[in-house]
């Protein structure tokens, strides 16, 4: 009989517990929704680097008495994909009298003497690479580095003393 009472009480308690659990899970929660706006903007940007135009040895007596000394270098730009860019080259630190951004008269110097040269955007050395939008080189960004060759020529027939001649030209990318 004690066993029966214990079982009856356990059954009653179990029933009450199950009933209260079932009651708690039958209520539905209310919900609401809203759209979350997510935005970003991409800004056009470019970086620029250069590889020197190294002409080497200029021989005013023989080789370069009648033939220009050619050399080449490069300007490398990396621009945001689709960005329009123009690379221009300044007149140099030793520009000659009458030099302009559109028609630069560049010169190398040893500190006292000058050696005239020109920079071009084409292999035939006919398109002067200047410091204006019309004499610059246009490029459209791809997101990867783009190398733009710079072709140079030291004019023939220049009677200058032996020495080391240098110049610095500022390369600019406008985007």
pLDDT at 28: 79
Q: How far apart are CA 70 and CA 90, in angstroms?
A: 19
What value does the mean pLDDT take over residues 103-128?
A: 98
Q: Mean per-residue pLDDT for 78-82?
A: 98
- pLDDT at res. 25: 54
Q: Is residue 74 classed exposed, middle or buried when 0-12, 13-18 and 19+ CB atoms within 10 A define those classes? A: middle
Question: What pLDDT, on the 0 to 100 scale, is given for residue 20?
Answer: 47
Residue 135, pLDDT > 90, answer: yes
3-state helix/strand/coil string of the chain: CHHHHHHHHHHHHHHHHHHHHHHHHCCCCCCCCCCCCCCCCCCCCEEEEEECCCCCCCCCCCHHHHCCEEEEEEEEEEECCCCEEEEEECCCCCCCCCCCCCCCCEEEECCCCEEEEEEECCCCCCCECCCCCCCCEEEECCCCEEEEEEEEEECCCCCCCCCCCECCCCEEEEC
Q: Residue 85: is its pLDDT beyond 70?
A: yes
Domain ranges of the chain: 46-174
Residue 6: pLDDT band with limits 50, 70, 90: very low
Global pTM value = 0.80
Residues 46-174: name the CATH superfamily: Fimbrial-type adhesion domain (2.60.40.1090)
* Mean pLDDT to the nearest integer, 109-124: 98
Q: Taking 50 as the threshold, does the pLDDT of residue 16 lie above it?
A: no
């Amino acid at each position: 009989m004690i066993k029966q009472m214990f079982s009856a009480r356990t059954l009653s308690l179990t029933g009450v517990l199950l009933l209260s659990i079932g009651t708690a899970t039958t209520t539905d929660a209310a919900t609401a929704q809203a759209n979350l706006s997510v935005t970003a903007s991409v800004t056009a940007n470019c970086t620029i680097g250069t590889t020197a135009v190294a002409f080497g040895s200029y021989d005013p007596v023989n080789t370069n008495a009648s033939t220009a000394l050619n050399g080449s270098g490069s300007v490398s730009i990396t621009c945001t994909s689709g960005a329009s860019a123009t690379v221009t080259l300044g007149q140099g630190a030793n520009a000659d009298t009458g030099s302009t951004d559109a028609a630069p008269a560049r010169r190398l110097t040893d500190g006292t003497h000058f050696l005239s040269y020109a920079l071009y955007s084409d292999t035939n050395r006919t398109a002067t690479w200047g410091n204006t939008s019309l004499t610059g080189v246009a490029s459209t960004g791809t997101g990867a580095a783009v190398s733009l060759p710079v072709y140079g020529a030291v004019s023939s027939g220049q009677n200058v003393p032996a020495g080391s001649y240098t110049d610095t030209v500022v390369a600019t990318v406008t985007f």
